[in-house]
Amino acid sequence: MELIDTHCHLTFEQLADDVENVLARSRAGGVTGWITIGTDPQHNRKAIELTGKFENMYAAIGIHPHDAKDVTADALTELKELAQGEKVVAIGEAGLDFHYNFSKQPDQKRAFAQQLKIARELNLPVIVHCREAFDETMDILEQFGPGVKPVVFHCFSGSPEQAKIVLDKGFYISFTGVVTFKNAELTRQAAKIVPVDRLMLETDCPYMSPEPMRKQKVNEPALMVHTAKYLAELKQMDLADFAQAVTATSKAFFSLPEAPSTRAQDIRVKRDLIK
């Protein structure tokens, strides 16, 4: 089995000091690829640093809505520059969080729109954080949406109606361990209608440990297997088939290479042909 954790925060302090062991446990559990997500300039730089250290490690960089109040012109210039790095596969997470409102709503909207513009200019997909701001998020995507690459609603915890709106726009939906929680019946109903070619998996670690490991305070990529099993069952699919399908979806969405070894082989074949 080969799964990709499409949204983890391996640079956060709960995981950063132990990342080698975290990844070893992840590989042992079948989660063999990772997209580590930056949330502010400091974590964006650290995320890119991590991609240089590990195979199958990629980064998405962005400014979280919590930090929207700190977005300066310089920060955006740096973001655009860093986003052109070889292993940066998306802009995000970016979006709106009207639950906490750590930044004022106009600041959040502005920062989100500015990052969508960068994504469009660089032809990168976007990882959207949306909490208690569904209509406003859709409005901004409508107005400033990338137009080229699709977007994914990460840590989806909305209703089937909202899932349908997201899918109708051509967007993708990604689920965390939240879908395994007892009180997440609406999210489960939503998951049922998301086809596997539009569905991705993530931990959002260090947060959101899935059941039956919810008591484990620090979530990590290895635990994503529980979410995969749960969703495979919900969709009445074989775990191996489900894993293969969502991994293919993730690779296509983020334009990840099929497998490094195959690529090397391709290059050799091409060389032989030239000879």
Q: How far is the CB of 275 from Ni ion (least distance, A)?
A: 48
How many residues bind Ni ion (CB under 5 A)? The answer is: 1
Q: How far is the CB of 64 from Ni ion (least distance, A)?
A: 8
Q: How far is the CB of 67 from Ni ion (least distance, A)?
A: 12
269 CB neighbour count, 10 Å cutoff: 10
> Using CB under 5 A as the criterion, what x/- string covers residues 147-186 for binding Ni ion?
----------------------------------------
How far, in Å, CA of 172 to CA of 163, rounded? 9
Nearer to Ni ion, 130 or 232 (CB): 130
Instruction: State whether the Cα torsion 199-37-156-239 is positive or negative.
Output: positive
Q: How far is the CB of 154 from Ni ion (least distance, A)?
A: 6
Nearer to Ni ion, 36 or 56 (CB): 36
CA atoms within 13 A on the CB side of 12: 15
Strands (E), the chain: 3-8, 31-37, 57-61, 88-97, 126-131, 151-153, 172-175, 199-201
The CA-based dihedral angle spanning residues 169, 200, 86, 56, taken in that order and rounded to the nearest 10 degrees: -170
Q: Is 92 exposed, middle or buried (0-12, 13-18, 19+ CB in 10 A)?
A: buried
Nearer to Ni ion, 204 or 220 (CB): 204
Nearer to Ni ion, 61 or 232 (CB): 61
Kindly indicate which of the ranges 83-91, 132-140, 182-190, 196-204 contains the residues binding Ni ion, using the contact rule CB under 5 A.
196-204
Q: How far is the CB of 78 from Ni ion (least distance, A)?
A: 20
User: Would you give the DSSP letter of residue 57?
Assistant: E
Kindly indicate which of the ranges 80-88, 104-112, 171-179, 203-211 contains the residues binding Ni ion, using the contact rule CB under 5 A.
203-211
User: Would you give the DSSP letter of residue 89?
Assistant: E
Q: How far is the CB of 239 from Ni ion (least distance, A)?
A: 25
> Are residues 167 and 198 in contact, defined by beta-carbon separation less than 8 angstroms?
yes
Q: Give the residue ranges of DSSP H helices in 11-131.
A: 13-16, 19-28, 41-53, 73-82, 105-122
Kindly indicate which of the ranges 68-76, 110-118, 161-169, 202-210 contains the residues binding Ni ion, using the contact rule CB under 5 A.
202-210
Nearer to Ni ion, 22 or 232 (CB): 22
179 CB neighbour count, 10 Å cutoff: 22
Nearer to Ni ion, 37 or 232 (CB): 37
Q: Which of 67, 97, 204, 220 binds Ni ion (CB under 5 A)?
A: 204
Point out which residues bind Ni ion (CB under 5 A): 204
